[in-house]
Amino acid sequence: MAHRELEEKVQEIANAHRLIQDAVGQYVVGNRDLVDLILIGVLTSGHVLIDGVPGTAKTTISKIIARLIGYKFNRIQGAVDVQPADILGVRIYDAERHEFVLQKGPIFANFVMIDEINRLTPKTQSALIEAMAERQTTIDGFTYPLGDPFFVIATQNSQEFEGTFPLIEAQRDRFNYSTALSHMDSENEIEILRRDQDGRLDWDLYDSRIAQVLPIDEVRSMSRTIQKINASEAILRYIRDVVIASRAHGGVRLGASTRGSLALLRGAKARAAIDGRTYVIPDDVEQMARPVMGHRLILERDADLSRVAVDHVITEILETVEVA
């Protein structure tokens, strides 16, 4: 791809980013960073894990973005009694056709939201690994492709312990990015009250006005463009050094995997594209370091295991590692 053509395509990505942010912002107050992260996940085919309290507009934002990009949206509510078949589907015998047919589960969509994923049992969590990693699922020995594109966003509240099952390590690593959400600040809180008073929080009215802004084929094209964003040798070494530093840090028992390295590179490229650049800068890597490593680092037993402590470790790593 010629440089001029790449510049034009990257500008299209930046324009689409602004359109989506503006469309979401007509209904949702704040959460611009979350919108960015979901869009980066969509454009890099990287699943997103959100840790946060209820009532932070996670589901609403997800529904809006799915509508804006023309993705079929399905939501799964995590619960201890949800079985793998409830998510994947089941083969049933069709007496008229004299054969088994697939009754598809909610995993068969382009944009799948799993609410409270840590309320699923480890067995059910494990059933998601093949789907998230390979974009396919196996039912009764038969393999079925999933949606194309296929994107998963999952939520959990790590402060709740009763009736929950911490994500197994392999499951966490299948999420390319993560973020932690808290309650609104005071300014955004009062803006929500103003909008409610003015009638601007009427979901049915807003929902009726949501129009698709990107065809799915264009989303696919943008994903291919992001692969062509330039990351110099110095940037590649910087990513390598950040990931290796996460493994060598004294407070870390398990650092970021090679899958984490790839997620950091792809996320940094997408970050550059939505900012309208054809090349990655160190700031792109630094902005994506927390989303990529925040859920991957496992601290030593005597360390504070909270997200705050993990963020502190990542800050130390970024302050220590220099761009070569």
E strands in the chain? 48-52, 73-77, 89-94, 99-104, 111-115, 136-139, 142-145, 151-156, 177-181, 252-254, 298-299
Report pLDDT digits (tens) over 49-104.
999 888 888 999 999 999 999 999 999 999 999 999 999 999 998 888 888 899 99
Q: Domain 229-324 falls in which CATH fold? A: Helicase, Ruva Protein; domain 3 (1.10.8)
DSSP assigned state of 230:
B
What percent of the chain shows pLDDT beyond 70? Answer: 97
Per-residue confidence (pLDDT) for residue 303, from 0 to 100 = 53
Q: Record the pTM.
A: 0.93
Domain boundaries, the chain: 3-228, 229-324
**Would you say 164 and 118 are in contact if contact means Cβ atoms under 8 Å apart?**
yes
pLDDT value at residue 306: 61
pLDDT at 302 over 60: no
Position with higher pLDDT, 21 vs 254: 21
pLDDT recorded at residue 51: 92
> Given this model, what pLDDT does residue 160 score?
73
Q: Given this model, what pLDDT does residue 304 score? A: 55
pLDDT digits (tens, 9 = 90+) for 149-180: 999 999 998 777 778 898 888 889 999 999 99
- At residue 236, does pLDDT exceed 60? yes
Q: Are 243 and 261 in contact (CB under 8 A)?
A: yes
107, 144 in Cβ contact below 8 A? no
pLDDT for res 2: 84
Please provide the average confidence, as pLDDT, over all residues in the chain. 92
pLDDT confidence bin for 274, thresholds 50/70/90: very high
Calculate mean pLDDT across residues 228-247: 97
The matching CATH number, chosen from 3.40.50.12780, 3.30.460.80, 3.40.50.300, 3.30.1130.10, for 3-228 is 3.40.50.300
Name the band, by pLDDT with cuts 50, 70 and 90, for residue 194.
very high
- What string of DSSP letters covers 181-215? E----HHHHHHHHHHHHHTTT-HHHHHHH----S-
Mean pLDDT, to the nearest integer, of 243-264?
A: 93
**Cβ neighbours of 317 (radius 10 Å):** 23
